[in-house]
Amino acid sequence: MYLYLIRHGIAEDPDFLIPNLIASDEIRTLTKLGRKNFTQVAHKFQKLELTFDLIITSPLVRARQTAEILIDNQLSSQLELSSDLKPGGNLSAWLTDWNARPPNTAISRLALVGHEPTLSEWAELLVFGKVCHKLILKKGGTIGLKFLDRQIGIEMAQLHCVIPPKYLS
């Protein structure tokens, strides 16, 4: 079982958000450059035949748009939203949800699209069992984890790859 943690592409600057509008961070969109760069990443995934049986994304617009670029480039046909993937989302809550699903042997490559520092913290928990803030995950970057069987759990993964987006251009 492979789990790919993908950070959203370059998005609008938070400094330009409408003051006092709480929801404004949620509606930040990818910039033109963010779309272009992440489309290059999607093309590289295509070339490598790295497809996903399911993509689960944070519901925030910049993450959803990133996931949709993967869908638009035929890297998956299945897209779900999970509020656990919002910034600061709790890994244990997501694991509880995930492990409560009926076992599905058709899913061996799962992608989660979200935010930092949440995704790299999740990766550290899944690999090392604790958060060390030692992994660098750039916008549009991917962390790949390998699990020896179908179960996803804390300290059960090996770190298969950490790919800054420039290596995927």
Maximum alpha-carbon separation in the chain: 47
Residue 5, SS3 per DSSP = strand
Residue 134, φ and ψ in degrees, nearest 5: -115, -10
For a copy of itself, the closer CB: 74 or 169: 169
- Out of 5, 111, 127, 152, the residue judged to bind a copy of itself by CB under 8 A: 127
For a copy of itself, the closer CB: 32 or 47: 47
Supply the Cα-derived Rg of the chain in whole angstroms: 15
- Span from 16-24, 68-76, 106-114, 124-132 in contact with a copy of itself (CB under 8 A): 124-132
Min dist. Cβ of residue 52 to a copy of itself (A): 16
For a copy of itself, the closer CB: 84 or 124: 124
Peptide bond into 117 cis (omega under 30): yes
Question: Nearest CA to 8 among 167, 165, 169, 168?
Answer: 165
Q: Are 126 and 152 contacting, i.e. CB atoms less than 8 angstroms apart? A: yes
- Out of 36, 80, 96, 166, the residue judged to bind a copy of itself by CB under 8 A: 166
The yes or no reply on residue 87 touching a copy of itself (CB under 8 A) is no
| Token pair recorded at residue 11 | 């998005």
Q: Is 30 exposed, middle or buried (0-12, 13-18, 19+ CB in 10 A)?
A: buried
Binding to a copy of itself, residues 145-164 (CB under 8 A): 146, 157-164
**Contact string (CB under 8 A) for a copy of itself, positions 47-66, x = contact:** -x------------------
- Span from 11-19, 24-32, 75-83, 133-141 in contact with a copy of itself (CB under 8 A): 133-141
Residue 144, φ and ψ in degrees, nearest 5: -110, 125
Q: How far apart are CA 58 and CA 86, in angstroms?
A: 5
The yes or no reply on residue 125 touching a copy of itself (CB under 8 A) is no
Q: Which residues bind a copy of itself (CB under 8 A)?
A: 44, 48, 127-128, 132, 134-136, 146, 157-164, 166-168
